[in-house]
Every structure is written in structure tokens, then in C-alpha cells.
Amino acid sequence: METIITELANVMESRRTASPEESYVAQLLHKGEDKILKKVIEEAGEVLMASKDLSAQKDEPLHLIKEVADLWFHSMVLLTHHHIRPEEVLQELARRQNLSGLVEKASRPKE
């Protein structure tokens, strides 16, 4: 059974060949990585603000939920741009599931 993530990734992949006049995803893919990255950054900022508003009890949880959905959506467009399936990200999360976050982080190459 396909998940909504898989279904969405399939639709995004199909938008590679769609007309930018007919599809928002096609527009982003057509405009390229810089445009997609700007949207990811914009959405991350909106998540931050929605979280702060929720913490200050100035907003409802639904606003944060919607902003996180936008961030995930645009992150998936970025994955599509790079020909990466979300299942690969989910596999990486599964790999990390039984690791201590501190141990996993320490195992990463030093930058």
C-alpha cells in the first residue's frame, strides 16, 4: 500500500515533464535549484515563526501543522530535483532509529 509520501513523490516525479504553466511543482523544477532552495528556506522560517507563536499561545497548533506540511512539500520538491526518493530518507531515519542521537552524530565525518 502506498503512503501519501510515496503518492506525492510519484506525482512530483510526473511533473518533471509537465508544463510550468499547469503545475506549481513543474514551475519550481523548471526554475531550478536556487528557486527551490529559496522556498525551502522561506518555509523553514515560517515553521519557526509558527512554533514561536504557538509557544507564546498566540496561535493554534493547526498553523504549525500547515507550515510543517509546506516545508515537507518543498523539501520533497528538492529531493525530486536531485532524483532522490523520499523512501531513501525514510530508510536513513530507520537506520538511525536504534542509535543514540549522540552516538550517531559523533560517527559523522568531521567537517
**pLDDT tens by residue, the chain, 111 residues:** 569 999 999 999 999 999 999 999 999 999 999 999 999 999 999 999 999 999 999 989 999 999 999 999 999 999 999 999 999 999 999 988 887 777 767 777 877
Residue 80 sits in a domain whose CATH number is 1.10.287.1080
**Nine-digit cell string for 66:** 500547515
Give pairs for 73-78: CB < 8 Å, separation 24+: 73/8, 73/43, 74/28, 74/36, 74/39, 74/40, 74/43, 75/40, 76/5, 76/8, 76/9, 76/12, 77/12, 77/25, 77/28, 77/29, 77/36, 77/39, 78/33, 78/36, 78/37, 78/40
pLDDT at 1: 52
**Nine-digit cell string for 20:** 510550468
Per-residue pLDDT tens digits for 55-83: 999 989 999 999 999 999 999 999 999 99
In which domain, by residue range, is 73 found? 4-107
pLDDT at 107: 78
> Is the Cβ–Cβ distance between 10 and 87 less than 8 Å?
no
* Calpha distance 22→82 (Å, rounded): 22
pLDDT at 83: 98
pLDDT at 68: 98
User: Going along the chain, which residue ranges are E strands?
Assistant: none
- The number of distinct structural domains making up the chain is 1
